[in-house]
Amino acid sequence: MKLNNKGFAITGILYGLLILFALLVGSYLTILTARKNRLDGIVENIENEYNGNTTDTYTLTFKKDTGIKEIYYSKDNSKFTKVNDAESINVESGNTIYYYAVPKEGYTTNCSQANTTKCYVEINGKNEELTVTATPVTTKTYKLTLTKNDGVSSIWYKIGNEDYKSSSFTVSVNLENGEECSYYGIPKTEYTMNSCTLSNPCHKKMGTEPFSYRLEAAAKKYKLILNKGAGVKTIFYKINGENSYSSITTDTTLEVNYNTTYYYYGIPENGFKMDSCTSYNNPCSYVMGNTTVTRTLKAIKNSPPYTVIIYLMGSEEARGTTNGSTFTATGVYTMGKTNISCDYGATATISGTTVTIANITTDTTCDIT
């Protein structure tokens, strides 16, 4: 069969319509497939929500405690990122966030950079707020005690580079290992510091044990001269808080601490007895002042003959001896005076130019006044 031009034209149109139809059908199938995939996804999401299999995102908010300087976090415990105070990050539910903190000076935290495996938070279906905490560092201290004796007026001390402080009593301070305390004493009047002075203070670098120190000042010393009078054989003395007496047989000069009590007594020669300061149980005693002192021990005869001397207003008018307990002197110039006194318990009377003395027991002097 032969086709004319008109036949060819109709055939071409039919082929074109067929191709167009095929294209339309393919496009529609593509749209249907996309819609199916979308519907499948919606269905899957609905099923996941129904079954709890979500991958929702939540926030984790970091907050710093007082002692925290910086916070770092990581999702893989490898690469850490700094986070600001009260800053939030997004985390998928079921994930773990690791973190560590840098504490401020004087604080410590369990979540340090070395402990990131111990410090983490898991996000499970809700927003979380995490406050990273720190605690003040507790430093162990040791007690340093400063005491003083009676010669120290006050204790001055300082810790490190602080200014000096003073105390009239015991000083007790707590120091850390390695801290240093400087200290010195101010002595009372008439005392001298044995050590730890204003110009040369003492220093103690604290270790790991308590430490105590006693500041002491010694009294200044002044001279005590002990002389033997006639009839004194031996002098016994005790000074500067000594427990026992020392003895000497000649005059001596001693160094005695200021404001301390010294004691002494004498042993007489044969035929004499001590005028005073007679024994261990009856010594003489004085408190040392701040000048040189001279003390002379005296002894008197205890057997005749006794020498008797009579003075008129300090001028010798008569002298004699007696083997008994009385003595009479005549022709004594008295200027008409009748008042007379004698030592060592002797008594006397005046009648004109005659002086009578009784109760003589040793060498005796009498004064007419």
pTM above 0.85, yes or no: no
Structure confidence at residue 38 as a pLDDT band (50, 70, 90): very low
Q: Are residues 214 and 229 in the same domain?
A: no
Half-sphere exposure of 53 (CA within 13 A, CB side): 7
Cβ contacts of 234-241, under 8 Å, gap ≥ 24: 234/266, 234/267, 235/264, 235/265, 235/266, 235/267, 235/297, 236/264, 236/265, 236/266, 236/267, 236/280, 236/283, 237/262, 237/263, 237/264, 238/262, 238/263, 238/264, 238/283, 239/263
Residue 24 maps to a domain: no
Residue 165 maps to a domain: yes
CATH number of domain containing 232: 2.60.40.1140
Task: State which H helix or E strand residue 41 sits in.
Answer: helix 5-51
Quick one: average pLDDT of 340-355?
Answer: 95
Query: What residues make up the domain containing 353?
Result: 306-368
Q: What is the mean pLDDT of the chain?
A: 89
Q: Are residues 346 and 361 in the same domain?
A: yes
CA dist., res. 262 & res. 295, Å (int):
11
Total number of domains in the chain? 4
CA dist., res. 255 & res. 261, Å (int):
12
Residue 71 maps to a domain: yes
pLDDT of residue 55: 65
Q: Model confidence over 105-163: pLDDT tens digits?
A: 989 998 988 766 679 999 999 999 999 999 998 889 999 999 999 999 999 999 999 99
